Amino acid sequence: MTRQVLFLAFLLLSSAYAFIKGGQPERIGAATLLGGASLTVVVASPLGIRFQALETGILAIDLSILGIFLWLSIRSTRFWPIWIAAMLGAEVIIHVALIIAPNVVPRAYMHALALWSWFVQMTLVIATWRHRMRMTRQGVDAPWKT
């Protein structure tokens, strides 16, 4: 349970940092990640059977979030959304791998999905920090491609 509490704190802090200090792409990314994490809690299977089989609700959310970050990587001037999209792609591959090899230990499935969430949040923090550095150096950081 400690890992979940730490992740929730990290999620809230990194999202707040992106909302307060980030540009529009960082805010969209933070809202997407915060919403995705919230929806994941809602759609996850009941505790007794969680991660025993493919979590289709979580897969649907992961695919939706992946789509948003692919869109961000195409439309924004930022490079970081493609990194997050790649990490989300790895999460989707984990779901697909479970379809191919359904005898995976449920705990391994759960941890493999959770691992990427930490890296995604760290990427958002670094992206927001880099945005602030560009704003300090140049006074402007255009968010969207023209």
Count of other CB atoms within 10 angstroms of residue 102: 11
Q: Specify if 146 maps to a domain.
A: no
* Residue 142 per-residue DSSP state: -
Q: In whole angstroms, what is the distance from residue 90 CA to residue 98 CA?
A: 13
99 inside domain: yes
CB contact at 8 A, 11 and 34: yes
Domain assignment present for 144: no
Positions of the chain with pLDDT under 50: none
pTM for the predicted model, two decimal places: 0.95
For the chain, what is the domain count? Answer: 1
- Write out the residue range of the structural domain in which residue 83 sits: 2-138
Answer yes or no: is 22 within a domain.
yes
| Residue range 107-117, pLDDT digits in tens | 999 999 999 99
SS3 53: coil
| Residue 59 located in a structural domain | yes
* Angle between helix 80-100 and 24-43 (nearest 10): 20
Structural domain includes residue 84: yes
Distance (Å, whole) CA 3 – CA 1: 5
CB atoms within 10 A of CB 132: 16
Domain assignment present for residue 62? The answer is yes
Whether 104 and 39 have beta carbons less than 8 Å apart is answered as: no
Query: Which pLDDT score, from 0 to 100, does residue 108 have?
Result: 96
How close are the terminal C-alpha atoms of the chain, in Å? 46
Longest dimension (CA), the chain: 54
Residue 145 lies in a domain: no
